[in-house]
Chains A and B, each alone.
Chain A
């Protein structure tokens, strides 16, 4: 126990500051985000993440948002267990037919005001899989999407900048 505490003490806080970039963090920004809905969340954002048939590459990057280097929680953003608690729905993957109903149900269960961000090339337009017998293609084909973060997978930094821009924080 003391060994762990000593190690914690020696390492210290290792969270890196978010560098400013010129290019926009979000692409295909919709009307809701342009109306700055995100700023109404007042510095506290609850995210519900749904894996709609992705390869888990985007999930691994999203999980890294919670580690000590990126630590998205310092901006008041946290991941929650139920869409009823959530403000932002983060969807990955080309929506497979099996997950279509679940995704629709998750979106319907969220209270207003709510935002949807599609993550990765798969979420943006279906990626390699496209629209087929097995997948619906872009997330926008199933539920209304407010913004897209492109990448295969997008880096945690890109994800963080995108989420922060959605709630109006730079």
Chain B
């Protein structure tokens, strides 16, 4: 582990913490513009987090210690996920500690804890949200794993940094398996980040909520941590998608100049990605909760198809 490696690791984590609310703000801006509205400022999520941290925290009297610690656990899981995905550089000393399968495991850990916390207070909508979140998770998690396996089979490794390095150095070609995996990944990240067409993040109707229903009882700093964790999750998914499908521009080991260039490249890629997400959200309608398993099942099958195409064609 070199000094540059440690520095790039810390820089990646810091950038994730700082840029995640900015990405959310960017997506919200474009959602407003596409609805012909004038948007809140780009820094609005930061103001919201600052306000929430300042508020007094109220908690149900029968909430257990699990309920109190769950936001911290979920926040750390998302931060660790952002730490192992090569966003700025592939020289990440923490990367050997967790590979692609462990990344999926991290998301699963966060999902289990938020579901348990939602069931903790014993309200009707908390357990409804927990059940729906586990339903989305049980189909989305294998689909995500299969997408990562598509990339793993091409690059013969499950380590995210090795995947990015390998894919970035190949000559530009359209791999059919990665194409199928890309469509599947988009569907999975829409579902997991609670976006239209799976779940509307702005809804007030509890019977249609999936993600929001689980956090209805949280307030102040716990809510701020959960909102930040949701932004980090969107950031992690976006960066994972960029790392798998558009890996160019990520710095490698022993190149501090490339590290400097990697930041504007990342911002550029995220800007385009955020705009496309806002576009998809504006042009789609939210689907019924009963249709969500079909949607995710399609994503799962597409990813498995990508794997089979990889095996059949012998090349990516």
Interface residues in A62-79 by Cβ distance below 8 A to B read 67-68, 71, 73-76, 78-79
B36 to A111, Cβ gap below 8 A?
no
* Bound CA span A121–B142, Å: 56
A74-B37 contact given A40-B54, A84-B216, CB 8 Å threshold: yes
Known: A4-B283, A79-B204. A71 touches B38 (CB 8 A): yes
CA of A71 to CA of B40, assembled, Å:
9
Name the distance in Å between A100's Cβ and chain B's nearest Cβ: 21
Asked if B219 lies at the interface with its beta carbon under 8 angstroms from chain A, I say yes
B151 CB → nearest A CB, Å: 30
Q: Do A111 and B39 touch across chains, with their CB atoms under 8 A apart? A: no
- Which segment of B6-14, B43-51, B73-81, B249-257 sits at the interface? B43-51
Task: Give the chain B neighbours of A44 by CB distance below 8 A.
Answer: 44, 47-48, 50-51
In contact, A14 and B36 (Cβ under 8 angstroms): yes
CA distance A78 to B24 in the complex (A): 15
CB under 8 Å from chain B, chain A span 112-162: 112-113
Q: By the criterion CB–CB under 8 Å, are B56 and A112 in contact?
A: yes
Q: Which of B37, B203, B212 contacts A68 (CB 8 A)?
A: B37
Tell me whether B220 is interfacial, beta carbon within 8 Å.
yes
A169 at the interface (CB under 8 A from B): no
Quick check: A84 and B219 within 8 Å, CB to CB?
yes
When the two chains form the complex, which single residue of B36, B41, B216, B217 contacts A11, counting CB atoms closer than 8 Å?
Answer: B36
* A113 near B212: Cβ-Cβ < 8 Å: no
CB neighbours of A84 from chain B (8 A): 58, 216-219, 223
Q: Which residues of B contact A81 (CB under 8 A)?
A: 203-204, 206, 209, 212, 216
Which stretch in B27-35, B157-165, B191-199, B304-312 binds the other chain?
B27-35
* Interface status of B55 (Cβ within 8 A of chain A): yes
**Is the CB of A105 closer than 8 A to any CB of chain B?**
no
Cβ of B69 under 8 Å from chain A: no
Instruction: Give residues 3-37 of A contacting B (CB, 8 Å).
Output: 4-5, 8, 11-15
Number of A residues contacting the other chain (C-beta, 8 Å)?
Answer: 35
Q: Is B2 an interface residue (CB 8 A)?
A: no
Residue B64, interface by CB 8 Å:
no
Residue A43, interface by CB 8 Å: yes
Question: Among the listed A8, A40, A43, A109, which residue makes an inter-chain contact with B34, where contact means beta carbons less than 8 Å apart?
Answer: A8
Question: Closest CB-CB distance, B277 to chain A, in whole Å?
Answer: 15
Residues of chain A contacted by B54 (CB below 8 angstroms): 40, 42
Question: CB-CB < 8 A to A56: which residues of B?
Answer: none
Given the complex of chains A and B, what is the CA–CA distance between A5 and B282 in angstroms?
10
| B196 CB → nearest A CB, Å | 15
- How far, in angstroms, from A84 to B47 measured CA to CA in the complex? 18
- For residue A71, which residues in chain B have a CB less than 8 angstroms away from its CB? 32, 37-38
Nearest-neighbour CB distance to chain A for B98, whole angstroms, equals 33
Question: Which chain A residues border B202 with CB–CB below 8 Å?
Answer: 78
Task: Find chain B residues with CB under 8 A from A75 CB.
Answer: 40
Contacts of A67 in B (CB 8 A): 37
Give the residue among A1, A13, A110 with the most B Cβ atoms within 10 A. Answer: A13
Known: A1-B283, A8-B34, A82-B216. 13 other contacts (CB 8 A): A13-B37, A15-B36, A15-B38, A42-B50, A81-B212, A81-B216, A85-B223, A111-B55, A111-B56, A111-B219, A111-B220, A112-B55, A113-B56
- Give the 4 A-B residue pairs with the shortest CB-CB distance, closest first: A15-B38, A84-B219, A44-B47, A44-B48
